[in-house]
Amino acid sequence: MATQRSCICGQRFSSEGEQALHQRNCEAFKRDTARTQLVLPLETELDRLAKEAEAIASDFASAFDRLIDGNTSESAYHVQVAQEHLDGATMRLRELADKTIAVAKNRYVIVDRLRREITELVERLQRYEATIKKAKTYFRPRHA
C-alpha cells in the first residue's frame, strides 16, 4: 500500500514528486514555509528582547530599592547596569526592526502583529531611556 502524502492545504498525493510539484505553486504551503523560516525566528528574537526589557525593569527596581535604603552608590551602579542592558537591547531591537522590514517584502509573509509588538517594545525602551537620563542627572556629582 502506497503511503499517502499531504500538503498543508489538505491535498493528498501518492508520490513525493507529485507533492513537490504541487508545493511549488501552493499558496498555503508557501505562506507556511515563509512563516516557519522567516517569521518564527524574528518572533523568537522579539521574545528574548522582551525578557531583556524585564531585566532592565528589575535593574530599576534594584536601584530604587538601594536608593530607599540610602545607598546611593549602589543605586547608581544599578542605574549604570540598566543603561548597559538598555544599550544592548536597543541595538538588537534596531537589527530586529530592520530584519522585519526586509522580511515584510516577501509576499507570503504577514508581520503586522510582529511590527506592532516591536513598536510597543521600542516605546517601552524609550521610557526606560528617559528614566535612566533622569537617574543619571540625580546621581551626577554636585560641585559646591
**φ, ψ for residue 88 (rounded to 5)?**
-65, -45
Residue 15 domain-assigned (yes or no): no
Residue 6 domain-assigned (yes or no): no
Residue 13 domain-assigned (yes or no): no
User: What are the respective helix, strand and coil percentages of the chain, to the nearest 5?
Assistant: 75, 5, 20
Residue numbers of the domain that contains 132: 31-139
State residue 143's pLDDT score.
45
Give 22-61 as a DSSP string.
Answer: HHTT-HHHHHHHHIIIIIHHHHHHHHHHHHHHHHHHHHHH
Residue 73 domain-assigned (yes or no): yes
What is this structure's pTM? Answer: 0.78
Print pLDDT tens along the chain (144 aa): 456 889 999 999 999 999 999 999 999 999 999 889 999 999 999 999 999 999 999 999 999 999 888 888 899 899 999 999 999 999 999 999 999 999 988 888 888 999 999 999 999 999 999 999 998 888 765 544
State residue 141's pLDDT score.
56
Residue 41 domain-assigned (yes or no): yes
State residue 144's pLDDT score.
40
Cell 554636585 belongs to 142
**C-beta atoms surrounding 5 within 10 Å:** 16
What the block records as the C-alpha cell of 51 is: 525578557
| CATH code of the domain covering residue 74 | 1.20.58
> Count of domains in the chain?
1
State residue 2's pLDDT score.
56
Residue 19 domain-assigned (yes or no): no
Residue 17 domain-assigned (yes or no): no
Amino acid at 66: R
